[in-house]
Amino acid sequence: MDAADTLATVAAGRASAVAQLRELAARLETLPLAAAAEVLVLLELTLDDLRQQAALALERTPAGHP
């Protein structure tokens, strides 16, 4: 797999992840507040871990890369 293939794979994964997160957010917005709160409590640890991993990945991104 060359660099172009890798970038295409990453771009597709990014687009898919963003779409999934948007879908989840849209579904949460339709829930009554109490139900949405229950879902968010269940997701909180996973979201914290994801935020930490994303922060580490962003720190490792070479300068000049978007």
What tens digit of pLDDT does each residue of 44-54 get? 989 899 889 88
Cα–Cα dist 3/58, whole Å: 19
- Give the CA count within 13 Å in the CB-facing half-sphere of 61: 10
- End-to-end alpha-carbon separation of the chain, Å? 22
Domain ranges of the chain: 1-30, 32-66
What tens digit of pLDDT does each residue of 1-59 get? 677 777 788 788 888 888 998 999 999 999 999 999 999 999 898 989 988 988 888 88
From residue 22, give the alpha-carbon distance in Å to each of 6, 7, 18, 65: 24, 22, 6, 25
Q: Taking a C-beta distance cutoff of 8 angstroms, is the pair 28, 36 a contact? A: yes
Report the predicted TM-score, pTM, of the whole model to 2 decimal places: 0.61
